[in-house]
A = this chain, B = another copy of it.
């Protein structure tokens, strides 16, 4: 551990060439088993460690995968990353994680930094207000695998890993309708993001299939920050036709809205039935417990990880370069009880 020992030291010690050492350590087929054994044994004995820096320079690979997510501190994101980490670690890769904190500027900076530090692939979930894909062009030009998950761009040759947000939005809305709701308000984040716009389409679809006329005023687009809950409730109170159903595209924001509604005297689910999205742990802890859409975060992570590894290794399965869509699940709890 004290002094760095190199393949040259091993070579000298064993009276073979550095090349042989290198090949033995990498289990190269042209080396005899006997030599390999000797080398590996000696390497352990002397406490040899490869110098990753040299390997990286020589191979122009870093064995590192860059990740840009909006926020680490969301249950969904971290669950997803746990899945990614498991897969890529098993394949010998490290994860360099950075947060955009929902800012395009930081997303651009992170993309540049990670590019410069030579990541072998980049995994991205977009910031709230990211509109241009300009900052990902260096990756595409350099043919560095680029994978989007959840909040995605559709770029050529860039796999996306998503759930069927349309169907999920449909299912949630349909559930509220089945429970008797006639006038459902949908509370969404930035509609430029695929996740929200598709859920909205699902919402509209469910209304239509149930012969309910869609009304533009039943959409409210917010930052989903806790303090915006007040705006939502104010909006609900201001409406002519009373709202009897609330579809909030995030559990934690739904929890804030419910709290505010309760303090304003609304009874849930009697006056208003509520459904959220994500199956965040919070949804089981609020009262009434929150109905929601479960989102297979961990599985998405595993798939994202596998997709990345395949891309890096050049196993370009054409079916995989397209969009992978995972199953979601409606979870009914107290907040939408009849």
Contacts and interface: CB of A to CB of B under 8 A. Distances in A.
Contacts of A64: 96, 117
B72 A82 contact: yes
Nearest to A62: B53
A241 interface: no
Interface in A285-304: 285-287
Interface in A86-123: 89, 94-99, 101, 109, 113-114, 116-118
Contacts of A54: 57
A142 to B, nearest CB: 7
A96 B94 contact: yes
Nearest to A137: B1
B96 A96 contact: yes
A96 B109 CA distance: 17
A73 interface: yes
Q: Give how many copies assemble into the complex.
A: 2
Interface in A62-85: 62-64, 71-75, 77-79, 81-82, 85
A281 B52 CA distance: 41
A255 interface: yes
Interface of A: 1-2, 49-54, 56-57, 60, 62-64, 71-75, 77-79, 81-82, 85, 89, 94-99, 101, 109, 113-114, 116-118, 137-138, 141-142, 226, 252, 255-256, 259, 262, 281-282, 284-287
List 10 tightest A-B contacts by C-beta distance, closest first. A73-B78, A72-B78, A53-B57, A53-B56, A97-B97, A1-B141, A255-B285, A57-B57, A52-B117, A52-B118
